[in-house]
Amino acid sequence: MPRYDYHCPDNDFIVEVQHGVNERIKTWGELCERAMIGPRGTPADAPVELVVHAPALSFPKGDVALKNLGFSKLVRRETGVYENVTAQDGQAKIVTKDTSPEAMNLGATVAD
Q: For residue 97, tell me if it sits in a domain.
A: yes
Same-domain status, 11 and 40: yes
> In the prediction, which pLDDT does 112 show?
46
Proportion of the chain above pLDDT 90, given as a percent:
49
Same-domain status, 46 and 67: no
81-to-38, 74, 109 alpha-carbon distances in Å? 67, 9, 21
pLDDT beyond 80 at 7: yes
**Position with higher pLDDT, 109 vs 93:** 93
Full residue range of the structural domain in which residue 10 is found: 3-51
pLDDT confidence bin for 106, thresholds 50/70/90: low
Q: For residue 71, tell me if it sits in a domain.
A: yes
Cβ–Cβ < 8 Å for 17, 30:
no
Number of domains into which the chain is organized: 2
Among 13, 30, 51, give the residue marking a domain's end.
51
Could you read off the pLDDT of 32-50 as tens digits, one per residue? 999 999 999 999 999 999 9
